[in-house]
Amino acid sequence: MTISTAAVHVPNNNLIIDAYLAEPAGEGAFPAVVVIQEVFGVNAHIRDVCDRLANAGYIALAPAIYQRNAPGFEVAYNEAGLKEGRKYKEMTDADELLSDVAAAIAFLKARPNVKPDGVGTIGFCFGGHVVYLAATLPEVKATASFYGAGITTMTPGAGEPPTLTRTRQIDGALYGFFGNEDQLIPNGQVDEIEAALKANGVDYKVFRYDDAGHGFFCDGRSAYVEVAAQDAWQQVQELFGRCL
């Protein structure tokens, strides 16, 4: 499929959020997906995810969730980049993150080529946590959360109670993707997430991959695991195809 890409600006009250947009070329009403970055910024990997979604028939938008404190933020996959990205992660706030995702959704739904009946989200690393949080927004019909650390232990900017306690507010479908060797997300925490999704009647699936750790989906990281990444991508397409 032929796609087009652009740098765009998403208004959110007095904040203008930089974002990357990828969309199928031509007319039509396409489902849409908000893509949330890792701590490393809206980098080549996140832009590639947007492009892959556009090639699959979705309009994808990746807003810069560090816009308030670090406009244009993008760092390498190394220890220095991780340290810098975590610094700005600690400066985020749940209400601001929800506001930014809601603004991204409003931006998408205002476009004439977007289906009006809801959008999905996909997020990786810290973005996996953010999209779990954003699954509580009523417009979100489907969420793909990849290895979101801290869901069971904290809420961005607030600490306690953890984001997991908001599971009862999720109305759409949610798929979670985790590596069984992820040192940042113990398997017991994945058990807690799955138990909360089940107890609250969420339409969900949790996928756990052997021999995979944190960041297994990203082919720009040494943690990349091709078999797990390919299976996860198929599951994402099934989720969005069914719900959007």
CA distance linking residue 179 with residue 213, whole number of Å: 5
Q: Is the pLDDT of residue 168 over 80?
A: yes
pLDDT, tens only, 89-123:
999 999 999 999 999 999 999 999 999 888 999 99
Residue range 76-82: average pLDDT?
96
pLDDT, tens only, 201-234:
999 999 999 999 999 999 999 999 999 999 999 9
Beta-ladder partners of 3: 24
Angle at 242 between CA 236 and CA 244, to 5 degrees: 90
Architecture of the domain whose range is 3-243: 3-Layer(aba) Sandwich (3.40)
- Given a contact cutoff of 8 angstroms between Cβ atoms, the answer to whether 165 and 159 are in contact is no
* Tokens matching residue 54: 């556009």
Active site residue: 45, 100, 125, 218, which one? Answer: 125
pLDDT, tens only, 47-71:
999 999 999 999 999 999 999 999 9
pLDDT score at 176: 98
CA distance linking residue 103 with residue 195, whole number of Å: 31
pTM, two decimals, is 0.98
Active site residue: 45, 50, 129, 182, which one? Answer: 182
218 flagged as catalytic: no
125 flagged as catalytic: yes
Active site residue: 45, 100, 129, 214, which one? Answer: 214
214 flagged as catalytic: yes
* Tokens matching residue 160: 């306690």
